[in-house]
Structure 1
Amino acid sequence: MIKMQNVRKVYPGFDFELSMEIPEGRITGLIGKNGAGKSTAIRLMLGLAKADGGIIELFGKPITEIMAEDRQNIGVSLAESGFNGQFTIVEVEKILAKMYPKFEESWFTRECQKLHLPEEKQFKEFSNGMKAKLRVLTALSHKAQLLILDEPTAGLDVEARNEILDLLREYAAEDESRTILITSHIASDLEHLCDDIYLIHGGKQLLHEETDVILEQYGLIKADEAQYAALDKEYLLDTQKEPYGYACLTNDRKYYEENVPDLVVERAGIDDVILMMTGGEKR
């Protein structure tokens, strides 16, 4: 569904290079700190920026060959996008109906009501949470097979984030062939939504892993100086110096639990992976 092979984009002071492949029916998270290159990846795959090298394909076609009917099958929500400040939801509905033959007005109206978005209020009067919800509903409103969402939950409170994530779960459950790419720097949002994640930092991929593998097999080791010196480091991905000794990220928690029983080994979440792999000493 989405393929990026050795895609490169050079900006002053920032060199982006990424390969990723997202098959049909997957929900994939692209994660990393602010400035990691997540939005650059989105802009490149949508043709909003021109790559300096590499191959980009959507629906099995180079992006230069994507036709209007293909774009009808893509739903997009960009962090910086918005509507004319004077528009109301009623006016947005009319625009979407003209743009997308498959626009589902009854679904859109119902979901706006469910999320407490006022029909007559102008967009400029919306809160950040209301704007984010409307952007996501717009992307979902024509039942596209491919969703590309750039930081859809950024800056929102927990309740608003959960409402958007529930929308995405329902959308994917309706049709298992639907594919979703979602970028975020809030890793906890993606742990129970995404099938797999790509972690990028400084424009480069650091990790691609199944979400279940991270949650079930990865671990965070806390070792003092003596423990670290004696530690088998074969299964350590990253190490970070701490006041008590060392924090270590492993992709084989069970190995250390079984072989070093006196060692503190905790389950690692995606947040731990981000913090360790973008701030630790690369092994």
Structure 2
Amino acid sequence: MLKIEHLKKSYENFSLDCSLEVKRGHVTGLIGQNGAGKSTTFKAILGLISYEHGDITILGKPLAQFTAKDKQDLGVVLSDSGFSGYLTINDILPIMENLYKNFDKSFFLEQVEKFQLPCDKKIKDFSTGMKAKVKVLTAISHHAKLLILDEPTAGLDVIARDELLELLRDFMAKEEGNSILISSHISSDLESICDDLYMIHQGTIILHEDTDVLLSDYALLKVDDEAYARLDKQYLLRSKKESYGYSCLTDQKQYYAENYPQIAIEKGTIDEVITMMIRGAA
């Protein structure tokens, strides 16, 4: 559905070199700190910024050949864009009907009613959660095949985030083959919806893993200096010096559980994996 190969973009104090793939029927997450390169990647995919090198293929077509008609199959949410705050939902309806030939007005209004969004109130007067719902609803209401969502849950409370994620689950269930690329720095959102995760740091992908594998096979080993010296380090991804000894990240939890039953092994959360991959030593 989407393939990026060695996408390179340079700014004065930042360089991007990114490769990733979103497979048909998959939800793929892009995680990383603010400023890691998530938004730059999304804008390059959508042709909103130029780039120096690389290949981008969307829905089987090179980006250079991707036409306005092809864009009908994309649903997009960008963190720093949206409808004018002076518009109402009633104002948005004719815009959507003119933009997308497959705009499902009845579905859109159904969801507006479900989420109790006022149709005649200016968007600038909406809460953060209401604004986010409008963005996602416009992205999923024209039978898109691929959603590209940059930080769609940023700034939302737990309930609002859960409601948005439910919308995305429904989108995936509605039609076989639908796909999503979603970025977030809220790891719990991505744990619950993504099939696989890419981790980006300082413009470079530093980890790609199936979410199930990451949650089941990754772990933190907590060992003192003596135990660390004896530890087989071939399956350690990162190590970090701590006051008690060392914290070590592995993707072979079972190996260490079987061969070092005396050491403390903790299940690694996505946040802990991110922290160790960035701050730990290889």
Tell me the TM-score normalised to structure 2 length.
0.98
Deviates more, 1:135-144 or 1:237-246: 237-246
State the partner residue of 2:201. Answer: 201
Partner amino acid, structure 2, of 1:179: S
Distance 1:176 1:267 in 2: 33
State the partner residue of 2:162. Answer: 162
State the partner residue of 2:228. Answer: 228
Distance 1:273 1:29 in 2: 15
State the partner residue of 1:11. Answer: 11
SS of match in other structure, 1:190:
helix
State the partner residue of 1:39. Answer: 39
Distance 2:265 2:116 in 1: 44
Number of residue equivalences: 282
Alpha-carbon offset, residue 176 of structure 1: 2.1
SS of match in other structure, 2:51:
coil
SS of match in other structure, 1:3:
strand
Distance 2:201 2:262 in 1: 34
State the partner residue of 1:248. Answer: 248
Matched, 1:67 2:74: no
State the partner residue of 2:188. Answer: 188
State the partner residue of 2:142. Answer: 142
State the partner residue of 2:29. Answer: 29
SS of match in other structure, 1:192:
helix
Distance 2:264 2:176 in 1: 40
Distance 1:269 1:11 in 2: 32
Partner amino acid, structure 2, of 1:143: H
SS of match in other structure, 1:68:
coil
Alpha-carbon offset, residue 40 of structure 1: 0.6
Distance 1:241 1:136 in 2: 43
Residues 165-198 of structure 1, C-alpha deviations (whole Å, 9 max, x = no match): 0110111011120010000011110112000000
Distance 1:194 1:143 in 2: 20
Distance 2:21 2:190 in 1: 18
SS of match in other structure, 2:247:
strand
Residues 206-251 of structure 1, C-alpha deviations (whole Å, 9 max, x = no match): 0011001101111111111111111111111111111111111100
Residues 87-114 of structure 1, C-alpha deviations (whole Å, 9 max, x = no match): 1111111110111010011110111121
Distance 1:161 1:108 in 2: 19
After the TM superposition, which segments of 4 or more aligned residues of structure 1 sit over 4 Å from their partners?
none
Alpha-carbon offset, residue 271 of structure 1: 1.4
State the partner residue of 1:133. Answer: 133
State the partner residue of 2:172. Answer: 172
State the partner residue of 1:88. Answer: 88
Matched, 1:99 2:68: no
Which residues of 2 match residues 256-267 of structure 1 at below 5 A?
256-267=256-267
Distance 2:114 2:130 in 1: 12
Deviates more, 1:234-243 or 1:37-46: 234-243
Distance 1:279 1:105 in 2: 48
Distance 2:8 2:213 in 1: 29
SS of match in other structure, 2:193:
coil
Distance 1:184 1:266 in 2: 24
Distance 1:245 1:189 in 2: 32
Partner amino acid, structure 1, of 2:18: L
Alpha-carbon offset, residue 273 of structure 1: 1.1
Distance 2:195 2:226 in 1: 38
Matched, 1:110 2:114: no
Partner amino acid, structure 2, of 1:213: V
Alpha-carbon offset, residue 115 of structure 1: 1.5
Q: What is the aligned-residue identity percentage?
A: 51
Distance 2:15 2:58 in 1: 23
Extract unaligned runs of 5+ from structure 2: none
Tell me the TM-score normalised to structure 1 length.
0.98
Partner amino acid, structure 1, of 2:216: E
Aligned-CA RMSD value = 0.9
Distance 1:228 1:118 in 2: 59
